[in-house]
């Protein structure tokens, strides 16, 4: 199955405020928009995002609802040059972004800020990919073996790196042969056996496929959960879920 991560969707309570935040602080531009009767989806990314780079999808529901973040949802991570972590963080602070976890508190290896809805954004040092482009998305899983097996068996993804600490482990998975500018998925597993709540502010990760029907049929053969099949989505996209209930959207790559 030939795939790549296409986008990450999060829900926001004030679309104008969120758009202004991402455009002002991360220099994102609008790449696409879908206006429906009850909601709006806006796709954002850097001007020079790689062809295989992932976008950020902001979903705004018109009924004024509020959301819970939950703790199954972790964060998105954005790239800055290797020598620009502190400078980039200082710039965000000067622009009025909330001080959440500065570089020093993270061993000068990364840093964190939050957007207007409390979504965490990690800043990571990378000498590839556009400035502020999506590097990875982190979700929490309750069984690392099961989670790694899901992404390996269902999507043929490889474990490309891991970091094992005293109390947790991070596993990074991505399609075989993915360019370094593409997004990875980070699976975080805590050793203490905790459980998680999804919350409804967290939406999904989306995977681009060449043939939606063929990809869906293959997932069904591999016993992926049948959540929303292509026909129920007007043959424009489809949804399955991982072992923890994180939603995974399939979209066509054209």
Structural domain of 170: 7-199
Average pLDDT estimate for 112-137: 97
What is the three-class DSSP state of 76? strand
Percent of the chain with pLDDT over 70: 100
The total number of structural domains in the chain stands at 1
Task: Report DSSP state, residue 132.
Answer: T
Confidence at residue 142, expressed as pLDDT on a 0 to 100 scale: 98
Q: Does the residue 230 lie in any domain?
A: no
221 in a structural domain: no
154 lies in some domain = yes
Determine the Cα–Cα distance for residues 92 and 111; give it in Å rounded to an integer. 11
Q: Taking residues 137-146, report their average pLDDT.
A: 98
Q: Is the dihedral of CA 207, 213, 218, 222 positive or negative?
A: positive
Sign of CA dihedral 186, 48, 4, 213: positive
Query: Per-residue pLDDT tens for 12-57?
Result: 999 999 999 999 999 999 999 999 999 999 999 999 999 999 999 9
What is the per-residue pLDDT across 97-108, written as a single tens digit (0 to 9) for each?
A: 988 999 999 999
The answer to whether residue 147 sits within a structural domain is: yes
Neighbours of 83 (CB within 10 A): 9
235: left (phi over 0), alpha (psi -120 to 50) or beta: left
- Give mean pLDDT, residues 224-229: 96
- The confidence band for 207, taking pLDDT boundaries of 50, 70 and 90, is very high
Assigned domain for 213 exists: no
Predicted local distance difference test score (pLDDT) of residue 254: 62
- Whether 250 is covered by a domain: the verdict is no
Following DSSP, what letter does each residue of 158-196 receive, concatenated? EEEEEEE-SSEEEEEEEETT--TTS-EEEEEEETT----
- Across-strand partners of 3? 209
DSSP string of the chain, one letter each residue = --EEEEEEEEE-S-HHHHHHHHHHHS--EEEEEEE-SSEEEEEEE-TT--TT--EEEEEEETT-------SSEEEEEEEE-TT-HHHHHHHHHHTT----B-TGGGTTSEEEEE-TT--EEEEEE-SSSSTT-EEEEEEEES-HHHHHHHHHHHH-EEEEEEEE-SSEEEEEEEETT--TTS-EEEEEEETT-------SSEEEEEEEES-HHHHHHHHHHTT---SB-TGGGTTSEEEEE-TT--EEEEEE--
pTM above 0.85, yes or no: yes
Q: How high is the pLDDT of residue 99?
A: 82
Mean pLDDT of 179-189: 97
Q: Residue 2's pLDDT band (boundaries 50, 70, 90)?
A: confident
Q: Please give the backbone phi and psi of residue 65, each rounded to the nearest 5 degrees, phi first.
A: -70, 160
Give a yes or no: residue 35 inside a domain: yes
- Mean confidence (pLDDT) of the chain: 96
> Which residues are catalytic, by number?
122
pLDDT band at 1; cut points 50, 70, 90: confident
Over range 221-249, report the average pLDDT. 96
Residue 81: give its domain's CATH number.
Answer: 3.10.180.10
- How many helices and strands in the chain, by DSSP H and E? 4, 14
Domain annotation covers residue 123 = yes
């Amino acid at each position: 199955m030939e795939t790549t991560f296409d986008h990450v969707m999060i829900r926001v309570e004030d679309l104008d405020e969120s758009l202004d935040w991402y455009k002002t602080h991360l220099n994102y531009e609008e790449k696409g928009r879908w206006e429906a009767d009850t909601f709006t989806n806006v796709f954002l990314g850097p001007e020079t995002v790689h062809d295989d780079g992932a976008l950020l999808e902001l979903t705004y529901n018109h009924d004024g609802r509020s959301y819970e973040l939950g703790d199954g949802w972790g964060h998105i991570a954005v790239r800055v040059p290797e020598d620009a972590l502190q400078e980039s963080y200082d710039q965000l602070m000067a622009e009025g972004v909330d001080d959440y976890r500065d570089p020093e508190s993270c061993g000068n290896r990364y840093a964190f800020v939050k957007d207007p809805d409390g979504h965490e954004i990690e800043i990571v040092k990378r000498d590839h990919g556009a400035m502020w482009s999506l590097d990875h998305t982190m979700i929490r899983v309750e069984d690392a073996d099961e989670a790694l097996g899901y992404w390996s068996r269902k999507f043929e993804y490889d474990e490309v790196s891991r970091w094992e600490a005293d109390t947790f482990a991070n596993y990074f998975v991505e399609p075989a042969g993915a360019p370094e500018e593409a997004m990875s998925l980070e699976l975080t597993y805590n050793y203490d056996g905790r459980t998680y709540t999804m919350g409804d502010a967290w939406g999904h990760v989306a995977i681009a496929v060449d043939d939606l029907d063929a990809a869906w049929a293959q997932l069904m053969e591999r016993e992926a959960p049948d959540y929303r099949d292509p026909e129920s989505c007007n043959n424009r996209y489809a949804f399955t879920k991982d072992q923890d209930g994180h939603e995974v959207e399939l979209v066509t790559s054209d």
